[in-house]
Structure 1
Amino acid sequence: MAYRIRTLTAAAALLAAAGMSAAPAIAQDKPGEGTTIKMSQASWDTGWFHAEIYKQLFETLGYEVSGPTTLDAPAFYQSVAQGDMDLWVNGWFPLHETFAPAFEGSASIVGAVAKGGALQGYLIDKAAADKFDIKTLDDFKRPEVKEAFDRNGDGKADLVACPPGWGCEVTISKHFEDYDLGDDINPIKAGYSASMADAIASYEAGEHILFYTWTPNWTVNELQPGKDVVWIEVPEREGVEAPAAAEGLDTCVADPCSMGFVANDIVPVANNAFIEANPAVKVLLEEVKIPLEDIFAQNAAMNAGDDDIKAQATAWIADNQEAVDGWLEDARAAAK
């Protein structure tokens, strides 16, 4: 530390002798000083790791970060449009396109945390798929299948779905309407992590399970696709336009696999006025990339009990320091 202080002092003396000041260079290291970022994070905890990484990078640039404030998607998109929040890095597009009318013209997607590969859809235990020859959601109209997946005795198969306010809840509700599943499947919309923990316990007790999930997510660490569980398809239906099928997915009952959801990009969404006033933030959002595999690994560790997300983010930054230094350098240059 003493060496660092002497080095800076010597540099300042040389600049002073040349009639220059060290202050601008030092200030440029922290272009965000004096500015607070009102940051949000998603209500799903699998998005908190990359939110913490961005927060620490913003703080390295001198910004003070308020939050992140945990919000459901509808509340965030309304808040960012109004300027009550500045940004989050938990956008899922095209899944969140349903919220676009709330923020178009006031906020925008800026960069991408991870492009493509964020799969989502329905899975069942492999034993049930083999025993009942289950291929699509339509198979849950069969009495013997409903009975096998009925864990609460209401005569319907139980599905771990999404809590109200999540983008996936809107899509799942549309599937129920399009495929006329209301009399056959009971969507559980309670807290997702608790509902999935209950489903996993049921699976370990030898029961059959049906659940929605997305990747990266700790669920596919606990229940390995292809071994413990398999993806199933949404049925073909005249008049119902399904997203493009995923190809080469050997953990699905079919290839290509019509999952009912498109592969999503995980992206930052930021208030336009805030981004225009803070070019360093804009460049950082445009350049940062976090591999899905790294998010998956953290999600699995978190589910196993390691919930020190701040330390995990700090470690990820240190492990990727060369790339991080390049992003920060470009962000500082943008603020000149």
Structure 2
Amino acid sequence: MRLKQALIAILCVAVFATAAAASDMKPGEGVTVKPARATWNTGFFQEALVRRGLEQLGYDVQQPKDLQNPIFYKSVTFGDVDYWTNGWFPNHNSQVPSNFDEKAEKVGYVVKAGGLQGYLISKKEADKLNIKSLEDFKRPEVKEAFDINGDGKAEMTACPPGWGCENIITHHMKVYDLGDHINPIKASYEAGMASALGTYKSGGPVFFYTWAPNWTIFKLKPGEDVVWINVPEIKPTEAQAPAEDRMTVSGIKGAVSDPVKLGFVVSDIQIVANKEFLKNNPAAHKFMQEFTLQLEDINKQNTLMNEGEKSDRDIARHVDDWIANNQDKWNSWLEAARQAAK
């Protein structure tokens, strides 16, 4: 009996030791990884989470390079960077080089159908002036209401140069003949939205492009403070055309109509990585395939950043908190990655 108990004890120790060793496996040891990061800070959280996961798998992950979309997509095909977590598809389709599918790969879904985009205006003005669409900005009284700087056009907080949404907004100004009626402000988006929020809090009107995930629609709540408005009709760009059915959306809270013609494709947020990197690093590949977030989690973190918690140290703390609150899920991703490396 004592011998049997001793054997069982030895077996248990061996099992626990094996499990502990498996959980400490570092399949990425000795490998340096070169990540990139989008220029919009609402995408920083997911980048930091993936970087942390790869570090826990033993990879030496460099600080990310902040790159504009077209530069990233060229860089990842060249192998100058290994990946980023900020792919928006099909919104970014027009910005990828011709050899993209040969050299790079979309991996998993950070948030499937999480990339909602469109135009919003202050609800007070929408109700007062019966604004339903961008077409209404051709009316003199509407332009005047949103003409902040006196140039005779309605000012709209838009996208900085190099962002995918900038191309779409430029397309809209042209195909809907809005160039003489709307002035898209293309300065820093964060600064532009801070200014718009200040204007709204002072009782003034707001008119802006935004997307989800983003803090903007938590500070300016659709249906209460602002409303989503329509484009006059769906006129997709060449890149948008294959997903034209994803440009009109039903069930959007705070929209002036249901469905609402957003004029932007509802996008999947995905990791994009160099194919050679993925081939040589099955653990990293598997972790990226497993990695996914709830849109609400990103919005919550984005709001913390907007309230001042935006340093690298703050973001690292947000990562710590998210992992602590999702430890089982996190561990399962790491375990799947380790198994893939065996």
Instruction: With the length of structure 2 as denominator, give the TM-score of the two structures.
Output: 0.89
Does 2:274 match 1:271? yes
Matched, 1:311 2:317: yes
- Tell me the secondary structure at the aligned position of residue 54 of structure 2: helix
Counterpart contact for 2:222–2:253, Cα < 8 Å: no
What is the CA distance between 1:195 and its match in structure 2?
Answer: 0.5
Correspondent of 1:289 among 265, 289, 292:
292
Amino acid at match of 1:285: M
Q: Which amino acid aligns with 1:324?
A: W
The answer as to whether partners of 2:25 and 2:338 remain within 8 angstroms in 1 is yes
| Contact map agreement 1:28 1:332 (CA 8 A) in 2 | no
Q: CA deviation at 1:207?
A: 1.4
Answer yes or no: is the 8 Å Cα contact 1:179–1:237 preserved in 2.
no
* Residue identity opposite 2:97 in structure 1: P
SS of the residue corresponding to residue 184 of structure 2 reads: strand
Query: Where does 1:196-215 land on structure 2 (aligned, <5 Å)?
Result: 196-215=193-212
SS at match of 2:131: coil
State the SS of the aligned residue for 1:113.
Answer: strand
- Which of 57, 64, 68 is 1:68 aligned to? 64
Question: Which ranges of structure 1 fall in alignment gaps of 5 or more residues?
Answer: 1-9, 16-21
Residue in 1 that maps onto 2:83: 87
Partner of residue 324, structure 1: 330
| Superposed displacement of residue 237, structure 1 | 6.5
Is the 8 Å Cα contact of residues 120 and 209 (structure 2) preserved in structure 1? Answer: yes
Rounded Cα–Cα distance in structure 2 between residues aligned with 1:287 and 1:234 = 36
Equivalent residue number for residue 18 of structure 1: none
TM-superposed deviation, 1:96: 0.5
By how many angstroms is 1:118 displaced?
A: 2.3
1:272 is aligned with what amino acid? Answer: K
Kindly tell me: are residues 277 and 27 of structure 1, through their superposed partners in 2, closer, same or farther at Cα, counting changes over 3 Å?
Answer: farther
2:97 matched residue in structure 1: 101
User: Counterparts of 2:182 and 2:109 in 1: how far apart (Å)?
Assistant: 35
Counting aligned pairs with the same residue, the percent is 51
Q: What CA distance in whole angstroms lies between the structure 1 residues aligned with 2:42 and 2:69?
A: 14
Report the counterpart of residue 3 of structure 2 in structure 1: none
Instruction: Identify the residue that residue 116 of structure 1 maps to in structure 2.
Output: 113
Deviation sequence 1:47-104 (CA, Å, 0-9, x none): 0011101100000000011111111111111110110000000111111111233523
Alignment-derived partner of residue 222 in structure 2:
225
CA distance in 2, matches of 1:65, 1:177: 43
Contact 2:74 2:97 in 1 (8 A): no
Q: Does the residue aligned with 1:62 lie in a helix, a strand or coil?
A: coil
**Aligned pair in 2 of structure 1 residues 214, 237: CA closer, same or farther (>3 Å)?**
closer
Q: Which moved more, 1:304-313 or 1:38-47?
A: 304-313
Can you give the 5+ residue segments of structure 2 that lack an aligned partner in the other structure?
A: 1-9
Aligned-pair Cα RMSD in Å = 2.2
* Number of aligned residue pairs: 320
- Paired position in structure 2 for 1:300: 303
Kindly tell me: are residues 130 and 162 of structure 1, through their superposed partners in 2, closer, same or farther at Cα, counting changes over 3 Å? same
